Structure 1
Amino acid sequence: MAGSAPQQHSAQQGGQCPGETRNAATAAWTVRDAVIDFARRVGMTSIFANPGSTELPMFRDFPADFRYVLGLQEAVVVGMADGYAQATGNAALVNLHSAAGVGNAMGNIFTAFRNRTPLVVTAGQQARSILPFDPFLAATQATELPKPYVKWSIEPARAQDVPLAIARAYAIAMQEPRGPVFVSIPVDDWDQPAAPVPPRALAHTTRPEPAMMARIGALLDACKRPAFVVGGAVDRADAAEDVVQLAERHRARVFVAPMTGRCSFPETHRLFAGFLPAMRERIVELLDGHDAIFVFGAPAFTYHVEGHGPHVPPGAELCQLIDDPGVAAWTPEGLIAVGNVRLGVQDLLARPAPCERELPAPRALPPRALPPAAAGERMSVAFALQTLAEVRDPHGIVVEEAPSARPVMQAYLPMARAGTFLTMDSGGLGYGMPAAVGVALARPGERVTALIGDGSSMYSIQAIWSAVQMKLPITFVILNNTRYAALQDFAPVFGFGKEDPVQGTDLPGLDFVTLAAGMGCAGVRVSEAAQLAGALRAALGASGPALVEIVVA
């Protein structure tokens, strides 16, 4: 699921569209014609949408080579598009209803912004002629609603400007750091005359400044005990293999940055050292003993709770390679290079090999999880995920949204290669189930495992319906602990005593097998540890979507 090589998605936008019978030189094009032509040229032929009245003219005479991907709620629509865009490495085209539809989608637009996912989000607007009268379903200040979680937002001044606005939006979405953009389009614009978008080619990546990369290279060559910290931009740039080669050259221990949404280094590799928590003091503790800390494709560092003291261990020097100048601007200290991660790592690999260092000791593996000792006891999350790891294809794709189980997953469900794991960088719920649908659409023939918490699943469970309608090979694994466990586990940080109740965090009475059946998806509920492996094998071997609800402690 790694992003494409930096040059692969430069927008080659020339030529007549396939099957196009209209001669642009002699016949009038409409806005719809020009937008469809441009979207076809840049590969945005899947439109993720939930229909509304102000969007209907966009879809009249819908082209046969395009695909309309229906979501039953706007958050589902954006989540599916996000998973699809991350799996293909190209921007996805989204169509939402005006005002309320965009509002419904905002949680996953925020997640797409944090994920650095390229999305061209369009939304309908009422006809220009009645906008002065505040009509029903009009979006007041439409461009302001999705801010600040889009890179660019516009409602073109004229109908004729819409195709160029879409072209500009695509370029901005694809430019690193990638992200969502927003275009509001009045309903009466689609049938207005417009010229096709002229052909052009645009590179979407920049090379880090050579002098700064040389300074970072010199620091790495001179240090004695380096540590690497990898983030999602490594996978987005398709740089994981290069990072593995660089880590092996420098004998560096490799950690995953806090709150990282993608797998950027094989977690079964000897140099893999584990995951950093989003706590300043714990990060410093785990990195202690290293004299150089090199952060690739991630902030240095993302924190979740207030902390104190230094950001890196005393005596350690920090350096960073990041595709986002905004993140670079607040990096607290050290050497910072801005640009495409893969190009920067390749520059470091082009340097002469440093003196060979001693291999660091491998990290200790967790003890084997055991089934319940007594009949009727719930199995542990560790046992459930260890069983899933044993029966699934180790190279298969996992989309996860089970925040309370994530530390256990990191110990008992390792990802064997980069590009096989996806979750949200934002912490916002409602992303995982639709993202799994988008990934499955982008990777036909590959089975996707959606590992979802019981609380998380209820934010966008409509995604199961989309998976059923498209017969996608997705295994939904629901970990049901009947509570918002992440909040209960986090409560002591904010002064709750061990026995203090946390209001609103219990979730009794949810039946995910029945919910799935109501949308046409077969499912099974497993509460006995001895039945789990067989149930998972059956669901992983199904031809279409299947659900396994696991009752855990």
Structure 2
Amino acid sequence: MGTRPALALLEILQGEGVDRIFGNPGTTELPFLAALSAAKDPPEYILGVHEGAVVAMADGYARATARPAFVSLHIAAGLANGLIGLLNARRSRTPLVVTAGQQDRRHLQQDPMLSADLIALAAPAVKAAYDIQHARDLPLALRRAFALATRPPAGPVFLSIPMDLLTENTEVDVPPRTPTPPQGPAPGLERAAHLLAGAARPVIVAGDGVGREGALDALVRVAETCGAPVHHQPMADCLDFPTTHPLYAGMLPPRHEAIRETLAPHDAVLIAGAHAFTPHHYSPGPALPPHLTVVQLDSDPDEIGRNFPAETGHVGALKPSLTHLAELLRDRVPAHTAKTRVLRAGDRHTADRDRADAAARAAYSKAPLAPWAAAHAVARALPPDSVVVEEAITVGLLLRRLVRLTRPGSYTHTVGGGLGWGIGAAVGRALAEPHRPVVAVLGDGSALFGLQGLWSAARLKTPVLFVVLGNGAYRTLQDTYAAMGGQGSCPGTELGQLDFTRAAGFFGVDAVRAESADHLRELVAGAAKLTGPLLIDVPLGP
């Protein structure tokens, strides 16, 4: 026996484990809201006052729960506002199922207000887009969307649903959910083990697939078994290797020439779960030195050999694949060889960290703070088990060098690069993990793009600490302009000093201005005791 379209939609959402709906509604969503109002134990509706914040909250929530988050947007305008978040989600491989109400089909040909080609609008920012024109197709397409959102490479999937379709006096069949077995280990890893074991100077690049798939511990075992130092991929979205580990060698810089220079001393590299190398600024030549033997492992078959040739490529789930690879290496690499490499790397990396720590401590002062001092104060004061949500474009690079994190999921960024993600993502993260301290580290330029997320933080009372680092400029543009040989000041990059305590107060968020590096450190240390959101305005100097 069938059910009405709107009720079928809700039934599928509940069957897929959706417990929260992230949205900003309009008239085309009223049939959906009516079904929510009448349902027994419906998912909670999480309201955002701008679609950019809505999608960012869903992004943060999906990453923490490791399942697709559901987003409801309003027609063409709402979808357009949410596109920046969808582009970020696609680049960061975040599974989302996104719907937008379309205008009533009975007058759609008359080009009514707010109508548009939603499929054409969404298509560049999502994995797939479905234009639902018949009620009978909605349940099947929705099931398909949830499955596709999580299939490697994960990402957002979009459905356009006409307003009148959900009010049809018809019954549709709801297909049962099809359990999908998890992806197994990659075949042929003996070849990978042979190449890595035969290397005199192996190195590992930990891609964000490692963090997304919960494979961090397995990668640690691989690294320790062959004694290979580990770099995070450029601008990593996740914590893919413990930053306290002796083998951790820091993040690769996002430029081909710098990656080549960093990897040149090595003769073999294992690249695990990395989407290309995500270069930011162009530099000539390939990312990898020509002499380097490349072993590539990924759960997405399209990544193998995509941007660089590999001696051997393997497709499979990262956690079981790396676990098996560690077992194979244990029989091929002498324990004393691995131990010697670990000790040597540990001495070198400890010295590097000590130098960075000393430089940052020496910069401590009263406000305005040096960027090194601000990054250090945040990194050293993080409460145990914290989650760092980072959207600080320039200071974030310093923060990555200073944080001491070990737990998977404790560092989150978006490699998509669309500004305004951080505030909403931190709210979504706190909703998913209410017992972990969430510290959002934001540049002032990034914060300006996502301020509306503070409204949701205040209304939901999410205990997020928002640290806004104010350098009064689009500093990364100024730095790049200078590096490119630009003369004089770079036009259009000055923001001036902004008072974010006043912005926070408007939305109902408590706020304080950091008076010194020690004061900032004290405020960050209190993040675990928050019962609601708090914003720290941190003035930065040169």
Matched, 1:59 2:37: no
Q: Distance in 1 between matches of 2:478 and 2:211?
A: 32
1:204 offset after TM fit, Å?
Answer: 6.5
8 Å contact 1:266–1:417 — kept in the other structure? yes
Q: Any unmatched runs of 5+ in structure 2?
A: none
Paired AA for residue 46 in structure 2 = V
Distance 1:142 1:367, change over 3 A: closer
1:540 offset after TM fit, Å?
Answer: 4.8
> Which of the residues 204, 221, 245 maps onto 1:245?
221
TM-score normalized with structure 1 length: 0.91
Q: Between 33-42 and 337-346, report the one with greater CA deviation.
A: 337-346
Distance 1:423 1:387, change over 3 A: same
Paired AA for residue 16 in structure 2 = V
Q: Between 484-493 and 267-276, report the one with greater CA deviation.
A: 484-493
Distance 1:159 1:283, change over 3 A: same
Other structure's SS at 1:518 match: helix
Trace 1:148-167 onto structure 2 (pairs within 5 A). Answer: 148-167=124-143
Q: Distance in 1 between matches of 2:199 and 2:11?
A: 53
Matched, 1:320 2:311: no
Q: Distance in 2 between matches of 1:232 and 1:440?
A: 21
Other structure's SS at 1:122 match: strand
Q: 1:520 is matched with which residue?
A: 508
Paired AA for residue 33 in structure 2 = F
Q: 2:442 is matched with which residue?
A: 452
Q: 2:267 is matched with which residue?
A: 291
1:205 offset after TM fit, Å?
Answer: 4.5
1:312 offset after TM fit, Å?
Answer: 2.1
8 Å contact 2:136–2:173 — kept in the other structure? no
Q: 1:111 is matched with which residue?
A: 88
Q: Between 467-476 and 321-330, report the one with greater CA deviation.
A: 321-330
Matched, 1:473 2:463: yes
Trace 1:160-199 onto structure 2 (pairs within 5 A). Answer: 160-192=136-168, 193-199=170-176
Paired AA for residue 408 in structure 2 = A
Other structure's SS at 1:269 match: coil
8 Å contact 2:139–2:175 — kept in the other structure? no
Q: Distance in 2 between matches of 1:329 and 1:248?
A: 26
Other structure's SS at 1:533 match: helix
Paired AA for residue 59 in structure 1 = L
Q: Distance in 1 between matches of 2:305 and 2:110?
A: 44
1:155 offset after TM fit, Å?
Answer: 0.9
Q: 2:475 is matched with which residue?
A: 485
Matched, 1:548 2:536: yes
1:231 offset after TM fit, Å?
Answer: 1.3
Q: 1:390 is matched with which residue?
A: 380
Q: Distance in 2 between matches of 1:346 and 1:316?
A: 24
Instruction: Provide the aligned length of Structure 1 versus Structure 2.
Output: 522
1:135 offset after TM fit, Å?
Answer: 1.4
Q: Distance in 2 between matches of 1:49 and 1:408?
A: 34
Q: 1:22 is matched with which residue?
A: none
Distance 1:390 1:505, change over 3 A: same
Matched, 1:510 2:498: yes
Q: 2:314 is matched with which residue?
A: 337
Q: Between 295-304 and 166-175, report the one with greater CA deviation.
A: 295-304
Q: Any unmatched runs of 5+ in structure 1?
A: 1-24
1:339 offset after TM fit, Å?
Answer: 2.9
1:87 offset after TM fit, Å?
Answer: 0.5
Q: Distance in 1 between matches of 2:72 and 2:454?
A: 20
> Which of the residues 362, 370, 375 maps onto 2:361?
370
1:159 offset after TM fit, Å?
Answer: 1.8
Paired AA for residue 436 in structure 2 = E
1:411 offset after TM fit, Å?
Answer: 1.8
Q: 1:21 is matched with which residue?
A: none
1:131 offset after TM fit, Å?
Answer: 1.2
Trace 1:238-277 onto structure 2 (pairs within 5 A). Answer: 238-277=214-253
CA RMSD of aligned residues (A): 1.8
Matched, 1:43 2:17: yes
Q: Distance in 2 between matches of 1:244 and 1:479?
A: 33
Distance 1:231 1:38, change over 3 A: same
Paired AA for residue 370 in structure 1 = R
8 Å contact 2:383–2:525 — kept in the other structure? no
Q: Between 219-228 and 91-100, report the one with greater CA deviation.
A: 219-228
Distance 1:374 1:464, change over 3 A: closer
1:310 offset after TM fit, Å?
Answer: 4.3
Distance 1:523 1:79, change over 3 A: same
1:209 offset after TM fit, Å?
Answer: 4.5
Trace 1:121-160 onto structure 2 (pairs within 5 A). Answer: 121-139=98-116, 141-160=117-136
Q: Distance in 2 between matches of 1:55 and 1:534?
A: 45
Q: 1:18 is matched with which residue?
A: none
Q: Distance in 1 between matches of 2:249 and 2:528?
A: 30
TM-score normalized with structure 2 length: 0.92
TM-superposition CA deviations, 1:274-326 (whole Å, max 9, x none): 11011111111111221111111113422222223343234320121122333
TM-superposition CA deviations, 1:197-250 (whole Å, max 9, x none): 222423275335412x23212211221211010111101111101111111111
8 Å contact 1:524–1:535 — kept in the other structure? no
Other structure's SS at 2:507 match: coil
Other structure's SS at 1:313 match: coil
> Which of the residues 431, 442, 452 maps onto 1:441?
431
TM-superposition CA deviations, 1:13-32 (whole Å, max 9, x none): xxxxxxxxxxxx3xx51111
Q: Distance in 1 between matches of 2:252 and 2:55?
A: 29
Paired AA for residue 419 in structure 1 = G
Q: Distance in 2 between matches of 1:373 and 1:412?
A: 15
Q: 2:417 is matched with which residue?
A: 427
8 Å contact 1:171–1:202 — kept in the other structure? no
8 Å contact 1:266–1:415 — kept in the other structure? yes
Q: Distance in 1 between matches of 2:287 and 2:418?
A: 26
TM-superposition CA deviations, 1:391-438 (whole Å, max 9, x none): 221421000000111221112223233210101111111111100011
TM-superposition CA deviations, 1:518-537 (whole Å, max 9, x none): 11111101243343333334
> Which of the residues 363, 367, 370 maps onto 1:380?
370
Q: Which of the two has greater helix per residue?
A: 2
Distance 1:315 1:451, change over 3 A: same
Trace 1:215-254 onto structure 2 (pairs within 5 A). Answer: 215-254=191-230
Trace 1:405-424 onto structure 2 (pairs within 5 A). Answer: 405-424=395-414
1:329 offset after TM fit, Å?
Answer: 4.8
